[in-house]
């Protein structure tokens, strides 16, 4: 197994143990801020991964790069403002992923702005020499990609993903009824869509999830964080 593939899997394990718990704890914390302590009473405001992990979602996270944890139980009847509370509770998860991606990218940018970091990348590119610092910056890059991918995936406006409850803030009861009336068909179609994506039937250039992830990555890295090492080494 080559270095990049090994680090890619390691990044997925790190995401599973650190980032998915952050995602679910963010849901629970925002729900409590709006008055619903259901998840808090279940111990979900915690970064302990074993409180949150789902067996199938964990397996898929490691081997496909996307997955999920156990859903956080939320009771909108206990919220002070149920409509806004449900939307912001849902939004908290993807936002936590974007924050994690930004933190990973910032760490990578700072490494590349050092003499040792630049040398590590140069040695790998020219001499195929793998150093610990090269592995760290590559791990941070993969963590950026995995977290952006999770944020994009979770914002798809289909139940039970977070994007559905965000969308519901802007729609009315008719939309809710349509989704719940056709819930089974939507779930089957969505499952088929995910299977097709993982079979690589759709080229990356027209894969909507990969295109969205690429766009957010370019905005975060190319247009923002890359400027740190670029300014240091005069690449601008």
The domain segmentation of the chain, as residue ranges, is 3-233
Tell me the percentage of the chain whose pLDDT exceeds 70.
99
pLDDT at 197: 72
pLDDT at 236 over 70: no
Q: How far is CA 208 from CA 117, 194, 199, 202, 214, in A?
A: 33, 11, 15, 9, 10
Dist CA 203 CA 60 (whole Å) = 21
Q: Which of 24, 141, 218, 236 is catalytic?
A: 24
103-139 pLDDT per residue, tens:
999 999 999 999 999 999 999 999 889 999 999 999 9
* pLDDT at position 148 over 80: yes
Q: Given pLDDT bands bounded at 50, 70 and 90, which one contains residue 204?
A: confident
Query: What's the whole-number average pLDDT of the chain?
Result: 91
Residue 203: burial class (beta carbons within 10 Å; 0-12, 13-18, 19+): exposed
**159-170: string of b/e by CB count within 10 Å (b at 16+)?**
bebbbbbbbbee
Give the span between the Cα atoms of 43 and 184, in whole angstroms: 31
Its pTM stands at 0.90
Retrieve residue 122's tokens.
Answer: 């140069």
Task: Give per-residue burial for 7-22: e unless 16+ CB within 10 Å, then b.
Answer: bbebbbebbbbebbbb
The answer, yes or no, to whether residue 209 has pLDDT greater than 90, is no
Closest C-alpha to 13, from 139, 148, 162? 139
Backbone φ and ψ for 139, nearest 5 degrees, come out as -60, -45
Please give the share of the chain, as a percent, with pLDDT higher than 90.
65
Q: Tell me the per-residue pLDDT of 14-63, one tens digit each, with 9 for 90 and over.
A: 989 999 999 999 999 999 999 999 999 999 999 999 999 999 889 888 88
CA max distance for the chain: 62
Residue 24 is among the residues annotated as catalytic for this protein: yes
């Amino acid at each position: 197994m080559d270095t990049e593939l090994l680090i890619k899997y390691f990044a997925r394990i790190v995401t599973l143990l650190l980032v998915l718990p952050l995602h679910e704890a963010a849901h629970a914390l925002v729900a409590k801020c709006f008055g619903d302590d259901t998840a808090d009473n279940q111990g979900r405001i915690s970064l302990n991964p074993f409180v949150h992990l789902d067996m199938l979602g964990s397996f898929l996270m490691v081997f496909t790069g996307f997955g999920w944890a156990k859903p956080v139980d939320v009771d909108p009847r206990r919220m002070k403002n149920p409509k806004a509370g449900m939307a912001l509770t849902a939004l908290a998860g993807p936002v936590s992923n974007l924050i994690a991606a930004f933190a990973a990218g910032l760490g990578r940018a700072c490494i590349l702005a050092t003499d040792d970091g630049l040398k590590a990348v140069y040695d790998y590119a020219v001499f195929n020499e793998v150093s610990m610092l090269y592995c760290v910056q590559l791990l941070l890059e993969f963590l950026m990609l995995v977290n952006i991918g999770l944020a994009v995936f979770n914002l798809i406006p289909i139940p039970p993903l977070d994007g559905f409850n965000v969308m519901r803030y802007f729609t009315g009861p008719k939309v809710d009824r349509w989704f719940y009336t056709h819930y089974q068909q939507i779930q089957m179609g969505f499952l088929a869509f995910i299977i097709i994506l993982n079979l690589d039937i759709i080229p990356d250039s027209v894969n909507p999830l990969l295109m969205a992830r690429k766009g957010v990555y370019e905005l975060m890295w190319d247009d923002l964080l890359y400027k740190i090492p670029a300014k240091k080494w005069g690449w601008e």
